[in-house]
Amino acid sequence: MVIKKNEAQIITPLLVELFKTHDFESEEYEGWVIPNGTDYAMKGYWYPQATENTGQLSIEVFINSEMIMVESFSGLGESDQEKLKNAFASFVHHDFAILLLGVWNKKFTSITQESWQIGEENYLAYLGEEGIINYDKEKTLEIPPSYLQEIKTLISQENLDKEFHWFTFFYANLNGLDTSAEVLKDNIKWIAGETKIEALAWKRSNHYYAVRQFVVLKKL
């Protein structure tokens, strides 16, 4: 199914309230939420019928005319309202704190912040807690010990020079036999990243589980 922006619902009021809970008053311009005193903006698109069973929330962060971060979240539920609530909660859990810290300089103790040298450039790397879904109620999911180091190594081998770079890592164990990995670099599918992440020593399980990681780099 092709998703078109002109079929989306703009969720500006939700974003305004979200920023307000973190002490940001905002201006609005054509659906963009602009926290006062900043040069960056955020907009959300909600597609209640992205597929037969799920909705999709797309969040855009305007950095400049040539750079817009895009992150997407599926929403599950019996009604469109429940789907939106589910997708919006995923956005808040996975990404929002990282964006507030990395883009808007709002401090969060839950976000790991490290200095990385990549080539000749120095970046601050912001890593949130892994987002985990685990349908096995009897066993705690064990993430491969080398997971975060592999992410750092992968990114550090790239040729990076922009003010911001962002990465989304997703891995899913579907049924004990089949797995799926998706990695995006600056909104673009990153095959090398997918190959490396899928090759890690993930535990096999007859139950579905998934791990999601969002990373933002900001040049010093």
Does residue 151 sit in the same domain as residue 66? Answer: no
Does residue 54 sit in the same domain as residue 135? Answer: no
How far does Cα 114 stand from its chain's mean position? 18
pLDDT for residue 5: 56
- How many domains does the chain divide into? 2
pLDDT for residue 2: 44
DSSP string, 110-131: TSEEEEEEETTEEEEEEE-PPE
- Whether pLDDT at 13 is above 90: yes
- Whether pLDDT at 205 is above 60: yes
- Whether pLDDT at 114 is above 60: yes
Does residue 162 sit in the same domain as residue 134? Answer: yes
Per-residue pLDDT of 117-142, as tens digits, reads: 998 899 999 998 788 889 888 888 88
| pTM for this model (two decimals) | 0.91
Nearest to 165 by CA among 211, 125, 106, 105: 125
Does residue 201 sit in the same domain as residue 142? Answer: yes
- Whether pLDDT at 1 is above 50: no
Does residue 47 sit in the same domain as residue 65? Answer: yes
- How many CA within 13 A on the CB side of residue 4? 2
Mean pLDDT of 175-195: 93
| DSSP-derived 3-state class of residue 79 | coil
Does residue 181 sit in the same domain as residue 205? Answer: yes
Provide the residue range defining the domain that includes 213: 112-219
pLDDT for residue 3: 53
Does residue 96 sit in the same domain as residue 135? Answer: no
Per-residue pLDDT of 47-67, as tens digits, reads: 998 887 889 999 999 999 999
